[in-house]
Amino acid sequence: MNIASSAPRQDRPTLIIIGHGMVSHHCAEQLVAHGATARYDIHIFGEERSRAYDRVHLSEYLSGRDAESMALGDGSLYTTPGLTLHLNADVLEIDRTRQEILTSRGRHRYDHLILATGSYPFVPQIDGAADNARLVYRTLDDLDTIRMAARNARRGVVVGGGLLGLEAANALRLLGLEAHIVEFAPRLMPVQLDPQGGAALKARIEALGVQVHLDRATHAIHPGSTHRYGMHFADGDVLETDLIVFSAGIRPRDELARTAGLALGKRGGIAIDSLCRTSDPAISAMGECAAWNDAVFGLVAPGYQMARCVAARLCDMEASPFEGADMSTKLKLLGVDVGSIGDAHAATPGARSYRYIDEITASYRRLVISEDGKRVLGAVLVGDNSYYDTLSQYVSNGIAPPADPAALILPQGSATPTLGVDALPASATICSCHNVTKGAICNAIDAGCTDLGELKACTKAATGCGGCAALLKQVFDHELTARGVAVDKSLCEHFALTRQELYACVRVEGLETFEQVHARHGRGNALGCDICKPIVGSVLASCWNRPIQNPALVPLQDTNDTFMANMQKNGTYSVVPRIPGGEITPDGLIAIGQIARKYQLYTKITGGQRIDLFGAQLHELPEIWAELIEAGFETGHAYGKSTRTVKSCVGSTWCRYGVQDSVAMALHIEHRYKGLRAPHKLKFAVSGCTRECAEAQSKDIGVIATEQGWNLYVCGNGGMRPRHAELFATDLDDATLIRYIDRLLMFYISTADKLQRTAVWRESLEGGLDYLKAVVIDDSLGLAGQLEAQMQLIVDRYECEWANALSDPEKLKRFRTFVNDSRSDPDIRFEQERGQPRPARVIPIAEEIAS
């Protein structure tokens, strides 16, 4: 498969990248950003079937995400003219003499070649290791193989207790298997953790039900008696299992370089200098296949550093040399916080350590200090990574520790010293994945960036592994405050409250009008403004769900809500009847068609499985809606910050792949939440199987059928800044699914900022998805019953807003273009295009005069 943007130009040199993983993708991004496609024809060859994907969160593939949702970027990068991506394309040989590569599809000449071939899982030579006793955990194909093997299995073993081994064990657990870890070393994560840290991690993991076997060398694998395989250890013990996944380390993929005669590192890997050049000046190497000073780096951040170096050099820009990398890691393995910073093993001569051990909770912290006590050299954390950001900044920036260094790792309290972000120098690295410094963040703010999401988009900070998200927010908030930008969080001049505070006041005090809200909590002009009135109107609707056409509420609505229709560019309005789940009878289709023809409306089927009718004039809206309601329709709320659509596939009713009735569930969800007002619009989808035809993983609330029930995804959205929804809960029955959605939506409505989508709200939550799960699933705040009751009030008070307006002659008086005249607007003109009316093209005055 090729993703080609344009035919190659023969007058430009050819740049080829072999390998299409995370590092290759980052290099391609850098090359395009530097304008490399104006000087090179760039070809990227990847052996997998999918675009580069997020290997850092590989286990999420087994919890419901698909290859596309895990892909890096939206694919538009590979439509850049001058760049061609070749997928499922093996490179077989490098001919350095002719400067060509040989692929499974032919030969390609290069002027410069970049090797980003990555690494492969190391599997030791063990007698009997074959088939399901020789699985590996590296690619999406590997995970598909593991998934198939797990279907008829009860127990799975991972050989290797390092980073990837623990991730693999989590993957087996997600598949419902009894998971075991076998590690040759005397502790887990021996590279990152010391003996005490390894012991704390073992205790926490075993408390989760994963059994850990240390100091075990697998001698042979033979058929088992109660399970398929028996793992025979050197000490004579036997562990039976149904499948075995090897995650015993990685080895650089240097076979192409080896056969081409390139210089290699002493322990393998393609030898590179500080500018990532190999022994052939026409070839560069980067990522896990490269060896700098005979060292291979197995984390993504060093690979990104190399990618930036290569891209800058090939574009004749000043390249920051690669001089090693910080191998600090901040992880959550099987739900357990693990951190390793700098010299975690106190290998520096004279280094001294402070240790905090809590055997009750299996928490462990170690702080490594220089011999003179003037520098923090490293740290180990197990059980609580809240110390990580502060300690990493002490290490990376050489900040002197406090008089009592031990206070840095003691339980946090009022006496715990904290490192304010104002103490960080401009050169301090905030995001190591994308090499974003505090200075770069300050520059973005100075350039006008005042939104955290916008900051992430323009700097890419916290878009890699995400480990720096908390620190990024601290720096961002501090710098805004320092510039006087975010000191006042008032809604406007009339309310010295945030939206969340205002919502709480309205809910607790039972306020139902703007006048009441202003009298209790407002200031200045009691009429309000265009900022506070719509927000108060939205909050009142979210709390009490009274008809927005009531005289006291109408002045709070914007134009669309006032007339319950979306105003279009030529002053007409669109009409969108609700079509729950996309299901509609032939009679309903005929009725819509007849109404559209009668009023000469432009019709279009939307992406949310509804029908839009465009071109209605203001005075026509009541007539059109009267006919739609008579035909059985109701308002679709397309004009409101409210529930819009619940998209659905046909599910098990028709589809041979469907495992649940997705249409029935979509109808149930849409009828329950229709009319629900929120800080921003809400979109839902229900898919009847994992093929995901309804695209549920891009919605605020996404539901995907499983054999046992429903998987719930939350807080995704499309738009200018798309975000995939996250898996929230699995295999839910109908009642539990609705209960969780009730709680989550009401919690969002009560805590979100003004005009904040669920995706942005989720990213702003301290504690992230785990915190949200604790609130919604575990009821950690004790609010579950209250949130469900609040949602039930909204459901019970629902009525079609157009039906309500049509029943009141006073409300209908507003639907006139002219106050004392029922005529149409003479300035609205249409012309025909593709058999339908569309707004007439406006002729500029100068053009009209010239004619």
Question: Token digits for 417?
Answer: 């010293």
Q: What is the pLDDT of residues 704-722, one digit of tens each?
A: 999 999 999 999 987 656 7
Residue 638: name the closest of 683, 576, 553, 572 by CA.
576
Backbone angles phi, psi at 508, to 5 degrees: -70, -40
Question: Mean of the pLDDT values across residues 243-259?
Answer: 94
Neighbouring-strand partners of residue 45: 18, 86
3-class DSSP state of 64: coil
**pLDDT number for residue 57:** 77
CA distance 340 to 198: 12
Reported as a pLDDT band with limits 50, 70 and 90, residue 7 is very low
CA distance 672 to 675: 9
pLDDT, one tens digit per residue, over 263-293 is 999 999 999 999 999 999 999 999 999 999 9
pLDDT band at residue 207, thresholds of 50, 70 and 90?
Answer: confident
| Least confident interval from 92-106, 169-183, 319-333, 571-585 | 319-333
Tens digits of per-residue pLDDT, 637-682? 999 999 999 999 999 999 988 999 999 999 999 999 999 999 999 9
CB 175 within 8 A of CB 181: no
The conformation of residue 60, written as its DSSP 8-state character, comes to: G
Distance CA 684, CA 699 (A): 5
The identity of residue 166, as a single letter, is L
Residue 801 contacts residue 636 (beta carbons within 8 Å) = no
Give the number of other CB atoms < 10 A from CB of residue 74: 10
Q: Are 18 and 283 in contact (CB under 8 A)?
A: no
Q: Where residue 465 falls among pLDDT bands split at 50, 70, 90?
A: low
The tens digit of pLDDT for each residue in 54-73 reads 887 787 787 667 788 888 88
Burial of 626 (0-12, 13-18, 19+ CB in 10 A): middle
Q: How confident is the model over 759-796, as pLDDT tens digits? A: 889 887 878 888 999 999 999 999 999 999 999 999 99
- pLDDT in the model for residue 844: 42
What pLDDT is attached to residue 821? 63
Q: What is the mean pLDDT of the chain?
A: 88
What residues are paired with 365 via a beta bridge? Answer: 356, 381
Q: Is the model more confident about 827 or about 836?
A: 836
Measured CA to CA, the distance from residue 33 to residue 134 in angstroms comes to 42
* Lowest mean pLDDT, pick from 483-487, 618-622, 824-828: 483-487
Contact 146, 245 (CB under 8 A): yes
Structure tokens at 77: 């990068």
With contact defined as beta carbons under 8 Å apart, do 379 and 387 qualify?
yes
Residue type for 72, please?
A: L
- Across 11-25, 115-129, 561-575, 661-675, least confident range: 561-575
Pick from 626, 675, 640: which is nearest to 562 by CA?
640
Please state whether the predicted TM-score (pTM) of the whole model is above 0.75: no
Summarised one tens digit per residue, pLDDT across range 316-328 is 998 889 988 878 8
At residue 412, the pLDDT reads 60
HSE toward the beta carbon, residue 185, CA cutoff 13 A: 18
